[in-house]
Chain A
Amino acid sequence: MISTRRDNLYGYIFILPAVLVLGCFFAYPILKTLYLSTAEWNMLSKPKLVGFKNYIRLFQDGDFYKSLWVTIYYVFGTTLLNIPLAFLCAVALNGAGRAQGFFKGIYFTPVVLSTVIASVLWISVYHPYSGIMQLLPLPSHLKVQSWYQRPDLVVPGLIVFTLWKGIGLYIVIFLAALINIPASYQEAAQIDGASFWQSLLKIVIPMLKPIFLFTVVICVVYSFQNFAIVYTSTKGGPNDYSKILPILIFENGFKYYKMGYASALAVIQFLIMFFFSYIQFKVFKSEVE
């Protein structure tokens, strides 16, 4: 694509509505957050500028590092399981013919249910006395106590719930993308002697690179931001073993009334997420970026 005057004109016009909306509503909040990160503010009185004190405190804060570790554990666990499983499911569904709609609907159902109530439900799911856990063929030491109460199992427990709740989304995305690939491509490769898996690897996946980039970035970003699910399920417990960064930020801001520190945490979280996204874009380096 050559940059032409037409491109410049229409390019700008078409992004104008989006930029207007986003700029109008989010420019000020971003600037304010940056400003507050250099201040102390308890929301009732005027903010007091303190320079980089918040950031210095942040880097010495054990809670921050613990939260960071928990967040990375949760984000990676979710994404590394979510995307490949969703893709494989979509591939399987693609080959399932007529039954596709039926299964797709089932996998998508958890997505449409209220997030908050689903979280409440899954607290009961893990309940040792009468939860679903009792039904499953698991070793008994995993069933004695709710996973949400065990420091070692709370994040895996949350990951399982997050997968149940969200994988339908990614399955549907992959399916929509797969549908756009004419079956003829894969069939042609298979006639040429490639196995199903080879044709998958060599042809389908590369063609879906933009979609993979999208789903991975979105999954990482959403997991990082998954305040609603984790807060409703465990409130960050037990003993902070599931306190992902958004919860730490929320608590510092709205529970300890330290909006300045919370803003600094937010800036740091943003930088971390930006860094991860940058890496993802580089990894999926396609001609599109």
Chain B
Amino acid sequence: MKRHYTRTALLVAVLFTVVTLCGFAGGAQEKVSEVDITFWQHSYPPLNAWTQKHIQGFMAANPGITVNFELIPFEEYIQKVFTALATRQAPEVFESDDFTFAQFIENKALHDIDPVVFGYSNLGDFTAAFERNSLELVTVEGKVFAIPYDWEAPVIGYNIEIFKKAGINPQSLKTWKQHGQAAQKTAVHDSNGVLTTAGMCFVHNIGEYYQHIGNTLFRQAKVSILNKNKSAATLNDPNADRVFQLWNDMIFKYKADDPGFTGSFYTEEFGQGRVAMGWMLTWANSILAPHDYKKGRDFDLIPVPTFEGGDTGTISSAWNWVVNANISNAKADASTKFLSYKSDQGDTFLTEAGLVSPKKGWREKVSSEDLALYDEIFNSLGRSRPHDPHPKYQEIWKPIIKVFQTCEVDPNANVRQLLKVGEQEINDIVQ
């Protein structure tokens, strides 16, 4: 019996080895066509199906072009793209967030998007086809290098029930101080002092949210990280104190927030009614739906409060579709047409993927019921301004995130001192 066992194992091993060496790649047979482009999208379930559908539509309308669609895990998407670019294995079309965009531009990694191929006679018309400056950030020296999609602006989401019980009118929260006091009133702790219902959830566990939230807070406090030519840091500004003080206060003074409250984004807890208020973005709505958590019934939105005497605007952000610079003109044109097609599907982008596209022309095709969910956020987009990051954006934010994180754990954080050190570190980076 033992010999039989060994022989089977050996046979299986040989079979598998042969399969391996023959490079059995499998998958759908790729059609031989004139132009072949590949699109890498980071995986986000509502978006996956939407993209799949529209690729089929595009290929039907453009018989000479084949689009290969690959889903990439979100976690290391940017790292994967960089590895591919470094080894010349990058696809024709991929994605970039606002921050990485500056890196790509500085290294000439992106192909410009021809307005004519896209469908407009000149740059002016092209820009006018997109909402409120959304193309501004991605236009460099008169050329457009990315198409923003998934345009986000922050708002504050609140739990209707909790506020009713507390007797507070959420619309009255115009300043961070009022907001903090309301958060203090609505927060609940258990007998061990552990926060069980958060008064206000900032996002602590996902790295880039320090940047998302921080950018808006800096704008409100009228603070700029770098000076106009981006040659020196201007972080050590007394105005900046209130940003970090707010962060610190929400945890230690108002006792309304806690970095350990949730493992990632707080939507789970929000859907369970354990969060009074939270920093919210457009896609959060599509996540709350499966929890049967409805706007107007269970939760609602208010604009982000600001500091006393501060700016009432916010900073928007977007994910962008970009085209690889190192490809043939035929492929570049095909890619541009593909992006044009996709950006025209704004109505289904909202209803199916739950995201807001900045290209105009879709709002009329969407029912007012679907829109009601997003109008609030869409209005915030009006007060938003895209920010313009430095190519070394991530590095510059390292010391700033350090200050945020120190303020999260140390009740007696000396913000002045931290900012002084932080500014010095940033100067080391940009100079």
Contact = CB atoms under 8 A, between A and B. Distances in A.
Contacts, number: 66
A254 B82 contact: yes
Contacts of A124: 263
A143 B85 CA distance: 46
Interface in A96-138: 120, 123-124, 127-129
Given A124-B263, A257-B103, A239 B409 contact: yes
A61 to B, nearest CB: 11
B192 A143 contact: yes
Interface stretch (B123-131, B232-240, B290-298, B394-402): B394-402
A238 B409 contact: yes
B344 to A, nearest CB: 31
Contacts of A44: 82, 85-86, 103-104, 107, 109
Contact of A149 (B76, B259, B392, B395): B259
Given A44-B109, A238-B405, A255-B394, A144 B193 contact: yes
Interface in A28-79: 42-45
A84 interface: no
B277 to A, nearest CB: 19
Contacts of A149: 259-260, 409
A144 B85 contact: no
Interface size class of B (residues with CB under 8 A): 20 to 34
A150 to B, nearest CB: 8
Contacts of B107: 42, 44-45
A254 B263 contact: no
A186 interface: no
A57 to B, nearest CB: 10
A148 B79 CA distance: 25
A256 interface: yes
B100 to A, nearest CB: 9
Contact of A43 (B85, B259, B263, B405): B85
Interface in B274-305: none
Contact of B409 (A45, A120, A151, A235): A151
Interface string B348-359: 000000000000
Contact of B402 (A45, A235, A239): A239
A144 B104 contact: no
Interface residues of A, number: 29
A128 B260 contact: yes
B408 A43 contact: no
Q: Most chain-A Cβ atoms within 10 A of its Cβ — which of B76, B83, B398, B409?
A: B409
Contacts of A255: 394
Interface in B101-143: 103-104, 107, 109
Contacts of A144: 192-194
Contacts of A256: 392, 394-395, 398
A140 interface: yes
Contacts of A123: 263
Interface string A135-178: 00000100111101111000000000000000000000000000
B196 interface: yes
A237 B194 contact: no
B406 interface: yes
Interface string B57-101: 000000000000000000010110011011000000000000000
B425 to A, nearest CB: 10
Contact of A127 (B86, B193, B263): B263
A45 B88 CA distance: 11
Nearest to A150: B409
Given A45-B107, A235-B207, A238-B405, A145 B260 contact: yes
Nearest to B191: A140
A258 B429 CA distance: 12
Nearest to A126: B260
A123 B107 CA distance: 38
Contacts of B258: 145
Nearest to B404: A239
A146 B261 CA distance: 9
Contacts of A127: 260, 263
B206 to A, nearest CB: 9
Nearest to B84: A43
Interface string A229-262: 0000001011110000000000000111110000
A86 to B, nearest CB: 29
18 contacts: A43-B82, A44-B103, A44-B104, A127-B260, A128-B192, A128-B260, A129-B190, A144-B192, A145-B258, A148-B260, A237-B405, A238-B408, A239-B405, A240-B402, A254-B79, A256-B394, A257-B82, A257-B394
Interface of A: 42-45, 120, 123-124, 127-129, 140, 143-146, 148-151, 235, 237-240, 254-258
Given A149-B409, A238-B259, 11 more contacts: A42-B107, A44-B82, A123-B263, A129-B190, A129-B196, A143-B192, A144-B192, A144-B193, A149-B260, A150-B409, A238-B408
Top 7 closest A-B pairs, CB basis? Answer: A44-B107, A43-B86, A149-B260, A146-B260, A254-B79, A239-B405, A256-B395
